[in-house]
Chain A
């Protein structure tokens, strides 16, 4: 995994979450690798998550000039969802970019 690309992805993920949170009036004090996207510890519901994923997918494809889909079989068939937090999602994006 390229650390540089990982950092780029993480920044896109964090910025998207931060912007989306502001838009819906849920200002998160801190968005980092551990910010939860799924589960009871997340401040997002499923419709929020879809909007976040759609936005991130678009930004990643623009940034890296790719056509990846974040909701492919690889993502959905895992025993542990890649959408748990910022870190897991960033790692998953990197795997898709390879």
Chain B
């Protein structure tokens, strides 16, 4: 039977790659983003919504349940970044980044978990970043929002373990996505120098970890953060 997966931020980047992979794998995906997706497939449903809106998860969940009757996995991929010195960061930027990254991940995790509790379990994957352990200058807000996601991952994994829900997080290295295209190449190079494996990651690297977390053989793995690149 097909696996039913909700992927936030599925329109482009890692979310889009994962969406196409799972669809090609025979799974069903309900994805969401703030604007329309040009990807279409009978097993793909796209919902236009903002993850930072507390009502959004219910719309996405309703679509998934009406079409498939259950949700197996949630991949909280949607995220935004802002690179700036702390002193030069407007309060509104802080608010927006936390609303999308932290609140968005929380809203979806909370609401999808309710359905997973009813269905007897499920798996949630959150996205963090290597910027958290590296304490990168200029990434205070972005890394802080992701650090909060790591704490959420660890605490929710304890709270929800009793319901057979596993929650883990992946922290990719920089990958060629829109998220880093505005970052100067010198800055990226400096970051890569701090990794054990000094190169950019790929979508396939992320997929490998995602598949590891979603594998039924990983049912004993929860509350874990896996960084790419060796940190």
Q: Check if B231 is an interface residue, CB within 8 A of chain A.
A: no
Cα distance A57–B58 in the bound complex, in angstroms: 12
Query: Distance in Å from the Cβ of A15 to the closest Cβ of chain B?
Result: 15
Q: How many residues of B contact A (CB 8 A)?
A: 7
Task: Establish whether residues B162 and A67, one from each chain, have CB atoms under 8 Å apart when the complex forms.
Answer: no
Check if A50 sits within 8 Å of B117, measured CB to CB: yes
- By beta carbon, the residue of chain B nearest A61 is B58
Interface of B is mostly: helix
B69 CB to closest chain A CB, in angstroms?
Answer: 13
Interface residues of B in 143-175 (CB under 8 A from A): 162-163
Q: Across the A-B interface, how many residue pairs have beta carbons closer than 8 Å?
A: 15
B216 contacts the other chain (CB 8 A)? no
- Give B66-110 as 1s and 0s: 1 = Cβ < 8 Å from A's Cβ atoms: 000000000000000000000000000000000000000000000
Q: Given A47-B162, A47-B163, verify A67-B118 contact (CB < 8 Å).
A: no
A33 at the interface (CB under 8 A from B): no
CB distance from A83 to the nearest CB of B (A): 15
A54 at the interface (CB under 8 A from B): yes
Q: For the complex, give the distance between the alpha carbons of A47 and B159 in Å.
A: 9
B112 to chain A, nearest CB (A): 11
Contact among B55, B118, B163 with A58 in the assembled complex (CB-CB below 8 Å): B118
Report B12 CB to chain A, min CB distance, Å: 29
Report if B114 contacts A (CB, 8 A).
yes
Min Cβ gap B202→A in Å is: 38
* Shortest Cβ distance from residue B108 to the other chain A in the assembled complex, whole angstroms: 14
The answer to whether B118 touches A55 (Cβ under 8 A) is yes
Distance, CA A47 to CA B165, complexed state (A): 13
- Which residues of A are at the interface with B, using a C-beta cutoff of 8 A? 47, 50-51, 54-55, 57-58, 67
Complex A-B, nearest 6 residue pairs according to Cβ-Cβ distance, in ascending order: A54-B114, A47-B162, A54-B117, A67-B58, A51-B117, A54-B118
Extra contacts besides A47-B162, A50-B117 (7): CB < 8 Å: A47-B163, A50-B163, A54-B118, A57-B114, A58-B114, A67-B55, A67-B58
